[in-house]
C-alpha cells in the first residue's frame, strides 16, 4: 500500500482534527502518501482532494470542528453516486480510505468497501456516542463537558429565581449525553428515549424537591424523547407546572476537544492506519475496556446501540 486518503463526514465532533492528524502522521511515518478529502463524500465525488504533509496537520490537535470540512450527503446511498466516488479514488491511485464519522458515514463506507478493492476503515466521530463496537466515540466527552458547563450556569440562575428548567441536549436517538450530563450535573430528572418515563414521575420529583425546601429543579431531556417546549407544554397543561426551556443546540458540537477526546482520536486514527497496513478492510475501529478493537461494519449495524441501563438505574437512586 502506497497511498491512502482520509475524510470526515456527517455532523462534526470535537477531536476529529486530532483523528485526521493521527491518520496523516501514522501514514507518513510508515512511508505512505496521504490525501485529505475536503467536504466529506461530497468532496470525494467532486474530486476535492489534496495531498497532506506533516505540517498540514500541525496546530490542529487543539481545534474543534474539522479542517477537512464535513457534509451530509443522502445521495451517497445511490450506487451511481458511489461509482463516481470510486472512480475519483482510483484515478489518484488511492488504495486505502479512512472515514471519520457516525452512523450515516459508516453506511457509506460499508457500501464502498463492498463495491471496490480500495480498503476502507471507519473511525467513530460523533458527539452522540451511538455507535456499536466502541465504548466511546470521538467528541462525546467534549460535548458532555460543554453540557455540564451549561447546566452549572443554568443551575445558578434557576436557584436564584427558584425556577424549574428543562435543558434539551443532542444525541439523536441516543440518551448517552443526557444520561451522563444529568448525573454529572446533579439534575432532578433525566429523560432518555431508551427508557421512557411517565411525565407524572418528573412532576413528583419536582414536588419532592420542593417539599425538601429545594425550590429549583433541573430536568435534562434528550432530544430523542421530545423537544423542551413540548415537555414544558405538557407540564403546564396537564400539571400546571411552569418550566423554562434551554435548547443547547449546536454549541454542543463545538469547542476545543477535551484531553480524553484528543487521546482517543489519536489512538483510533493511528490504529485505523495500522489496520490498513495489515490489509484489513470493511471494519470500524473502537475502544472497549480501554483496548483498541475493530468490528466488521455489518456487525456494527447488526447490534442496536443502547445506553447503559445500569447507569440509568443508578441515576434514579441519586435523584430521589
Identify which range of 17-25, 26-34, 169-177, 274-282 contacts ligand F6P by CB under 6 A. Answer: 169-177
- How near is the Cβ of 304 to ligand F6P at its closest, in Å? 16
Q: Is 102 left (phi over 0), alpha (psi -120 to 50) or beta?
A: beta
Residues paired with residue 97 on neighbouring β-strands, in sequence order: 5, 120
Q: Is the distance from CB of 34 to CB of 3 less than 8 angstroms?
A: yes
DSSP 75: G
Q: How far apart are CA 206 and CA 78, in angstroms?
A: 49
Pick the closer one to ligand F6P by CB: 237 or 304. Answer: 304
Cell 489519536 belongs to residue: 266
Pick the closer one to ligand F6P by CB: 102 or 108. Answer: 102
Contacts of 263 (CB under 8 A, 6+ apart): none
- How near is the Cβ of 150 to ligand F6P at its closest, in Å? 15
Q: Which of 121, 127, 248, 284 binds ligand F6P (CB under 6 A)?
A: 127
Size of the site for ligand F6P (CB under 6 A): 11
Residue 221 engages ligand F6P in binding (rule: CB under 6 A): no
Identify which range of 155-163, 167-175, 259-267, 271-279 contacts ligand F6P by CB under 6 A. Answer: 167-175
- How near is the Cβ of 172 to ligand F6P at its closest, in Å? 4
Pick the closer one to ligand F6P by CB: 102 or 124. Answer: 102
276-300 as b/e, with b when 16 or more CB fall inside 10 Å? bbeebbbbbbbbeeeebebbbbeeb
Nearest residue to 100 (alpha-carbon basis) of 123, 76, 82:
123
Instruction: Report CA Rg, the chain.
Output: 21
Q: Which of 42, 119, 155, 253 binds ligand F6P (CB under 6 A)?
A: 253
Pick the closer one to ligand F6P by CB: 85 or 178. Answer: 178
Q: Which of 14, 82, 101, 128 binds ligand F6P (CB under 6 A)?
A: 128
In the range 171-190, which residues lie near ligand F6P by CB under 6 A? 171-172
Joined together, the cell numbers standing for residue 271 give 490504529
Q: Is the distance from CB of 279 to CB of 119 less than 8 angstroms?
A: yes
Q: How far apart are CA 128 and CA 310, in angstroms?
A: 19
Residue 65 engages ligand F6P in binding (rule: CB under 6 A): no
Q: How far apart are CA 261 and CA 123, in angstroms?
A: 13
Q: Is the distance from CB of 176 to CB of 147 less than 8 angstroms?
A: no
- Kindly list the distances between the CA atom of residue 212 and the CA atoms of 215, 216, 307, in Å, as whole numbers in the listed order: 9, 11, 31
Pick the closer one to ligand F6P by CB: 115 or 230. Answer: 230
> Does an H or E element contain 313, and which?
helix 309-318
- How near is the Cβ of 11 to ligand F6P at its closest, in Å? 3
Q: How far apart are CA 262 and CA 267, in angstroms?
A: 9
Residue 138 engages ligand F6P in binding (rule: CB under 6 A): no
In the range 268-297, which residues lie near ligand F6P by CB under 6 A? none
Residue 56 appears among annotated catalytic residues: no
Residue 44 engages ligand F6P in binding (rule: CB under 6 A): no
Pick the closer one to ligand F6P by CB: 5 or 127. Answer: 127
Pick the closer one to ligand F6P by CB: 70 or 295. Answer: 70
Catalytic residue among 128, 130, 141, 176: 128
- How near is the Cβ of 12 to ligand F6P at its closest, in Å? 8
Catalytic annotation, residues: 128
Q: What is the binding site for ligand F6P (CB under 6 A)? A: 11, 72, 102, 126-128, 170-172, 223, 253
Amino acid at each position: 500500500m502506497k497511498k491512502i486518503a482520509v475524510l470526515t463526514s456527517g455532523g462534526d465532533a470535537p477531536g476529529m482534527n486530532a483523528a485526521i492528524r493521527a491518520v496523516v502522521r501514522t501514514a507518513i511515518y510508515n512511508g505512505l502518501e496521504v490525501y485529505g478529502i475536503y467536504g466529506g463524500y461530497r468532496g470525494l465525488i467532486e474530486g476535492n482532494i489534496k495531498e497532506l504533509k506533516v505540517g498540514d496537520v500541525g496546530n490542529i490537535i487543539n481545534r474543534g470542528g474539522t479542517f477537512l470540512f464535513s457534509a451530509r450527503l443522502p445521495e451517497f446511498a445511490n450506487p451511481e453516486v458511489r461509482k463516481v466516488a470510486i472512480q475519483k479514488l482510483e484515478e489518484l491511485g488511492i488504495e486505502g480510505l479512512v472515514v471519520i464519522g457516525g452512523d450515516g458515514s459508516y453506511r457509506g463506507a460499508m457500501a464502498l468497501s463492498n463495491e471496490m478493492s480500495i480498503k476502507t476503515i471507519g473511525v467513530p466521530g460523533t458527539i452522540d456516542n451511538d455507535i456499536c463496537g466502541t465504548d466511546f466515540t470521538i467528541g462525546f466527552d467534549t460535548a458532555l463537558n460543554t453540557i455540564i458547563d451549561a447546566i452549572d450556569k443554568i443551575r445558578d440562575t434557576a436557584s436564584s429565581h427558584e425556577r424549574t428548567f428543562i435543558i434539551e441536549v443532542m444525541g439523536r436517538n441516543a440518551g448517552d449525553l443526557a444520561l451522563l450530563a444529568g448525573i454529572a450535573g446533579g439534575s432532578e430528572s433525566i429523560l432518555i428515549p431508551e427508557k421512557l418515563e411517565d411525565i407524572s414521575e418528573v412532576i413528583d420529583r419536582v414536588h419532592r424537591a420542593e417539599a425538601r425546601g429545594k425550590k429549583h429543579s433541573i430536568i435534562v431531556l434528550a432530544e430523542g424523547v421530545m423537544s423542551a417546549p413540548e415537555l414544558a407544554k405538557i407540564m403546564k397543561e396537564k400539571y400546571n407546572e411552569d418550566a423554562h426551556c434551554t435548547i443547547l443546540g449546536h454549541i454542543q458540537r463545538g469547542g476545543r476537544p477535551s484531553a480524553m477526546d484528543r487521546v482517543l482520536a489519536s489512538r483510533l486514527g493511528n490504529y485505523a492506519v495500522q489496520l490498513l497496513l495489515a490489509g484489513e478492510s470493511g471494519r470500524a475501529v473502537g475502544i472497549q475496556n480501554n483496548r483498541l478493537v475493530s468490528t466488521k461494519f455489518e456487525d456494527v449495524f447488526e447490534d442496536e446501540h443502547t445506553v447503559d441501563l445500569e447507569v440509568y438505574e443508578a441515576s434514579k437512586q441519586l435523584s430521589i
